Structure 1
Amino acid sequence: MPRSWLSRRRRASSLSLSEERSSDTWTPLACERRSSKHCCLVAVHWPLAFALGWPRAGESREAKPISQNPSPPPKAWSPPRAPYPENIRMSDTSWGEKVKLIIWIFLDGLERFFTQNKLLKLLSLALAFLIWFTVSTQEQGDRLLQDVPLRVLHSPTTIITNVVPKAVNVRVRGPLAVVNDLDPEGIEVIVDVSELDPGNYVIGPEEVHHIPSTVEVRQIDPPYIPINLERKIVRDLPVSPQIVAGQLPSDRVIIGSTVEPSTVQLAGPESKVNRIEHLVTERIVIPENAASQHTFLVNVVPPGQHMTITPARVKVTVTIDEVVEKRLDHLTPKRPPRVRIPSGTSLSVTLRGPRTFLDKIGPDDIIVSVNVAGLSRGEHEVTPSIALPDEFRDWVQVIAIEPPSLTVRVR
């Protein structure tokens, strides 16, 4: 039915072609009958003509005249636009004619689709079929990817306190050529716990990144990862150096050290950080030929797992001094109650220690005393005792007392 109507329409167009040319008016129908090369233009122009009320065949509505002997239009020819009427009415064309026009346009376009550019369309169809056949017939295969990196995403305010595996095994399936070319180190399995509060969880990894879309993830081993989340805190703690003077000669001694900065920040799980009072550096071994002041750049030792230190390194300056001896003479012993010491009795004391401290010690800083507790009345030989100031006791030692004993009388 539609094809026979199209044939009658074309025959009627050819019969009335001479009448259209003599009408001296331009219409979309006339454009349609000029040449079959411009049917696409007519297919677009006819609905506009009906919808906007443009003049049709046999009507004269200020249409632009065309010449009696028109020349063949060029390839890029397009019909001039007819002026729009002031009052556009849809009632100029019946719905039956509009339906017939739409059917004619559809059938004409369908006919041109199968009759024009046949070679290009056949080549396109063949190429599409070749691509589909190549993709659909690729051999599928399975592969087990071992030691695929695992990354856990968590909030900056939390920290993972248990040991999480660094890698998992992933079984995939896809085109055999693509699957065999996969590199496990180039793939990454993601576990996201950034939205979870502190607590203990068992979560299965779901996201696998950097894997082709044609490859399907069949299984991840282990299927579940235990994760313990704890609140993260930061504290400022002092640092103490660990100094080993094993290689120093006997006549040199370490008398002090300074750490810069003196405090560092320790970040970690709240339950562990709150139990720590200070931090220590790694062991510092003093070389044999060290100068009087030697500086070391050393690391601060983390007190446990899942803890970070900022800054991780500190500067330790060690002060080394020469060990010397010093003799103090004319020291008078302190006389206790009920004890008589012969007049003119004096002692000499020999001290050993760092030069820096010995230079500060004088006879007035030494206290000589005798202990007569438990002695009966009469003369006795007692050993004097030497007392040093508190600031020197850790550094200075008494190596000799002359005379080693004193004669006292207890009353």
Structure 2
Amino acid sequence: MWFQRFFRKHKIHFLLVLIAIFIWLHVKTDMTYEETFPVDVVSSNTNPEYVVTNHFTKSIPVLFEGTGKNLIALRNTGITILVDFQQTSRNEFVAHLQLNNIKISPPIVNIVPRSFVEKDTLHFSLEQLRYRKVPVVPRIYIKPGPGFTLVGKLSLVPAELTISGPASKIKQIKSVRTDTLSFLDAAQDIAGTVKILDPFSGQVVCSVRMVQYSVNIQQLGERLMQDIPVQIINVPKNVKVSVIPSTISLKITGGVDVLSGITREDVLVYIDYQRYNQALQNALPAMIKIPDNISYSDVYPSHFQIRVESN
């Protein structure tokens, strides 16, 4: 090929050019230059009873001087400046930055920080740190599919958490909320994790960032319950009463697993004698208490007569 013939003919020239470039780079990188680098602000001797409330610069530009080689190496190191909070006042602290507080890790010789490019002071607003335990309010919306029902309430673990931050912010927070989730046409149990929303954009810290949620979805069923005894409460000691009829029937509706465990003893039906007017001999409706997570309908009969006999 023509390129191979050209290279063999002029390879000595290529070698001389490469040597010249190497010498030029060596000379240039040994020369002294100035370059600006970002320096991360790191706090020290912070008072654990106080917290910074204002948004301050987390990184400041600093002008460094050094050889070209060392400045190139500086790009791959960590550069920090310490801010000492030991002399803080109650509400405000002004940090006067010092070049001799700049640290380079790993260290590089012959690198000198020359000046702060923009400013050499940082202003901090301080406030007492407070803690509070608050409930988690879920924003999880579940709509069971046709023929299914939600059994019980949505479960969150943990149901409450601890928040910490400036006292003025903490006293405003009564609860924290989750991210929004929606489940439509649910036909089986639902479980997962959801994020806690950040109140006050980072000024308040939550003890956990995620919570677990779960909910029980069951197939919807119904069941007819008959011959449930009707009781009478608040009867005076000198009065003997009976209720006519003495039993009631109703239909209960709920998750099939829940319904399978319900017996007549789990359904409380009663009439309050104090509501009975003997002169009017009025018929009274029964009060019905059923277990959680089910509903009832088709109550028969709806009213009952009270027969009173004095002892």
The reply to whether residue 397 of structure 1 matches residue 295 of structure 2 is yes
- Partner in structure 1 of residue 86 of structure 2: 195
Deviation per CA, 1:234-291, whole angstroms, max 9, x where unpaired?
78x5864726243322522042555556776655457766887876644454464453
State the secondary structure of the residue aligned to 2:55. coil
Query: Which residue does 2:287 correspond to in 1?
Result: 386
Following the alignment from structure 1 to structure 2, what is the Cα–Cα distance between the partners of residues 173 and 363?
Answer: 85
Aligned partner of 1:225 among 108, 122, 144: 122
Partner in structure 2 of residue 366 of structure 1? 268
What amino acid maps onto 2:55 in structure 1? Answer: V
Q: Per-residue deviation at 1:369?
A: 1.6
Q: What corresponds to 1:64 in structure 2? A: none
Residue identity opposite 1:297 in structure 2? T
In the TM superposition, residue 355 of structure 1 has moved relative to its aligned partner by: 3.7
- Aligned partners of 1:191, 1:383: CA distance in 2, in Å? 81
Aligned to 1:165: 57
Paired position in structure 2 for 1:330: 227
Letter in 1 for 2:56: V
Shift of the 243–369 alpha-carbon distance from structure 1 to 2, 3 Å rule, reads farther
Which of 291, 316, 319 is the equivalent residue of 2:213?
A: 316
Partner of 1:249: 145
Structure 2: give runs of 5+ residues left out of the alignment: 1-26
Return the offset for 1:385: 2.8
Shift of 1:367: 1.7
* Residue pair 2:41, 2:82 contacting (<8 A) in 1 also: yes
Q: Which amino acid aligns with 1:331?
A: I
**C-alpha distance 334-407 of structure 1, shift in aligned 2 (>3 A):** same
Structure 2 distance, partners of 1:274, 1:371, is 50
Kept after mapping to 2: 8 A contact 1:151/1:188:
no
Residues 1:295 and 2:171 aligned together: no
Letter in 2 for 1:402: Y
Query: What is the deviation of 1:218?
Result: 5.9
Is the 1:256–1:320 contact (alpha carbons within 8 Å) kept by the matching residues of 2? no
Do the aligned residues in 1 keep the contact of 2:65 with 2:114 (CA within 8 Å)? Answer: yes
State the SS of the aligned residue for 1:291.
coil
For residues 152 and 243 of structure 2, what CA distance do their matches in structure 1 show? 40
The 8 Å contact of residues 142 and 186 in structure 2, kept in 1 or not, is answered as no
Q: TM-score, normalised by structure 2?
A: 0.58
1:178-224 Cα shifts (integer Å, max 9, x gaps):
9xx9x999996735034345632122333466798577426524x53
Trace 1:62-77 onto structure 2 (pairs within 5 A). none
What is the CA deviation profile of residues 292-338 of structure 1, one whole-angstrom value per residue up to 9, with x for unaligned ones?
3x431333445553344455334434333333323222234334657
Q: After TM superposition, give the deviation of residue 397 of structure 1 in Å.
A: 2.7
The answer to whether structure 1 residue 350 and structure 2 residue 245 are counterparts is no
Where do residues 127-138 of structure 1 align in structure 2 (5 Å cutoff)?
A: none
Matched residue type, 1:153: S
Aligned match of 2:14:
none
Aligned pair in 2 of structure 1 residues 188, 379: CA closer, same or farther (>3 Å)? same
Deviation at 1:352, TM superposition (A): 2.4
Structure 1 window deviating more from structure 2 (306-315 vs 210-219): it is: 210-219
Query: How do 1:208-219 and structure 2 match up within 5 A?
Result: 213=111, 216-217=114-115, 219=117
**Higher alpha-carbon Rg:** 1
What is the count of residue pairs matched by the alignment? Answer: 264
- In the alignment, the residues of structure 1 paired with residue 137 and residue 203 of structure 2 have an alpha-carbon distance, to the nearest angstrom, of 22
Q: Please tell me the root mean square deviation across aligned C-alpha atoms, in Å.
A: 5.1
Pick which of 316-325 and 257-266 moved more: 257-266
In proportion to residue count, which structure has more helix? 1
Counterpart residue identity of residue 348, structure 1: S
2:41 maps to: 151
